[in-house]
Structure 1
Amino acid sequence: MRSIWKGAITFGLVNVPVKLYSATEDHDVSLHQVHDADGGRIRYQRRCEICGKVVDYEHIDKAFDDGDRTVVLTEDDLKSLPEERSREIDVLEFVPSDQLDPIMFDRSYFLEPDSSSPKAYVLLRRTLEETERTAIVHFSLRQKTRLAALRVRGDVLMLQTLLWDDEVREARFPVLDQTVRISSKELDMSGSLVESLGDDFDPSQFEDDYQEELRKLIDAKLEEGESLDTDATFGRSDDDDEGDGGSDGEVIDLMEALRQSVERSRSAGSSRAPAKKRTGGAGSASGKAPAEKAAAKKAPAKKAPSKKAPAKKAPAKKAAATKKAS
Structure 2
Amino acid sequence: MRDFGYLRAPDVETALRAITAEPEARFLGGGTNLVDLMRAGVENPGTLIDITALPLTEIEELPDGGVRVGALVRNSHLAAHPLIRTRYPMLSQAILSGASGQLRTMATVGGNLLQRTRCAYFYDGAARCNKREPGAGCDAIGGLTREHAVLGVGDACIAVHPSDMAVALVALDAVVEARSTRGTRRIPLTDFHLAPGATPHLEHVLAADELITAVELPPSPVAARSRYRKVRDRASYAFALVSVAAAIEVRDGAVSRVRLALGGVATRPWRAYEAERSLLGARPTEAAFREAASAELASAVVTPENAFKVTLAERTIVAVLRDLEEAA
TM exceeding 0.5: no
Per the normalisation by structure 2, the TM-score is 0.22
Greater CA radius of gyration, 1 or 2?
1
Compare relative contact order (CA 8 Å, sep 6+) and give the higher one, 1 or 2.
1
More helix by share: 2
